[in-house]
Amino acid sequence: MRIAVIGLGLIGGSVLRAIAAAGRDTYGYDADPATRAMARTAAGQARPAHRWQISASAGEAVAEAELVVLAVPWPAIAGVVDELANCGYTGLITDVTSVKGPVRDVIVDRWRSSGIALTGFVGGHPMAGRETSGFAASDPKLFRGAAWALCLEPDETRLADWLEVAVLATSLGARVVPTTAAEHDRAVAAISHVPHVLAAALMRVAADNPLALSLGAGSFHDGTRVAASPAELSAAMCGANSAAVTASLAAIADELDAAADGLHSGDPIAALRKWFAPATAARRAWPPPPSLPAELPANPDVLARLGRAGGWITDIAPDRRTVTAVRPAE
């Protein structure tokens, strides 16, 4: 299968490198000429030579592709999708954007209005970001052991398409988590998007306090790490998922109010001990130990239940009838 990767930043560049390292041919394109030049140089310097080519345009990259991986930031998605539709691409599309509902809406709308029969779309999100960005930060090992959410929409996503993208993700070392766009966006608001907001808030509060910054150690370092992410990327990620992020922030605000109430109580230490205890227990139990691998039928209902239970897929049978699945041990 010929694969094209459009967008060669941290995630797209890592996808390109990982596919090539797995021995598969792939084609890449980025709108930035400097990024394209860097990727061409990297391909020539790799030993053994990596099997990727950098195209001069998105249309050239996807000319004979059967699968396209969209790895551009959310604000650029609509323009790239229009470009692919205009050049007549009809193959399978997946993406690596951190919000799924809006991307799905753009894909459906653009292809419906173009009149072109798209083979299929499978929304995806590898949970493997870093605070660094760009092709220079890309790493073919980035996805090893990482969760890779793949959207299986009821009565919409073709199972064969979903399994095709799942095969790609597992071949790069990822563990595939079945979900839907709506479920994904609610989940990542809590564990990915809001942490960016909280990290930025912590950094904003401490930024003008030289003494605090000189004393900052492990908890401050870990708690503010993602505040170093490019502001435009964090803003696009949170803004595109505004409803779910707003709801999650409201829940966080309620928790902070409860902590403040404890501080103002007659016995703040006892009150805070009670407030901290559930979080301490939950964090020490996370991540839960995995179960032994089990073979499950590649059935949409089975896959949906697996994802909702916190499980994932590590392999797909060659005949695509079964998957190797793991879930949290009970």
Q: In DSSP terms, which residues pair with 68 in a beta bridge?
A: 4, 93
Q: pLDDT grade, residue 46 (50/70/90)?
A: low
pTM: 0.94
Write down the pLDDT at residue 256: 98
Best CA proximity match to 241, nearest among 70, 102, 72, 78: 102
Write down the pLDDT at residue 47: 57
What's the average model confidence in pLDDT over 321-326? 98
What values do phi and psi take at 230, rounded to 5? Answer: -55, 130
pLDDT tens-digit profile of 47-104?
555 578 999 999 999 998 999 999 999 999 999 999 998 888 999 999 999 999 999 9
What's the average model confidence in pLDDT over 20-34? 92
Write down the pLDDT at residue 118: 73
Residue 321 has pLDDT above 60, yes or no: yes
Write down the pLDDT at residue 48: 53
Write down the pLDDT at residue 1: 85
pLDDT tens-digit profile of 215-230?
999 999 999 999 999 9
pLDDT tens-digit profile of 270-306?
999 999 999 999 999 999 999 999 999 999 999 999 9
Upper half-sphere CA count for residue 181 (Cβ side, 13 Å): 22
pLDDT tens-digit profile of 146-203?
999 999 999 999 999 999 999 999 999 999 999 999 999 999 999 999 999 999 999 9
Write down the pLDDT at residue 111: 79
DSSP characters over 97-124: -S--HHHHHHHHHHHHHHT----EEE-E
Q: Residue 11: in which H helix or E strand, if any?
A: helix 10-21
Q: pLDDT grade, residue 114 (50/70/90)?
A: confident
pLDDT tens-digit profile of 121-152?
999 999 998 878 899 999 999 999 999 999 99
| Structural domains of the chain, ranges and CATH numbers in brackets | 3-142 (3.40.50.720), 185-284 (1.10.3660.10)
Question: Which residue has 């005949």 as its token pair?
Answer: 319
- 3-state secondary structure at position 193: helix
Count of positions (residues) in the chain? 330
* Helix 268-284 / helix 242-263 crossing angle, nearest 10 deg: 140
Average pLDDT value for the chain: 94
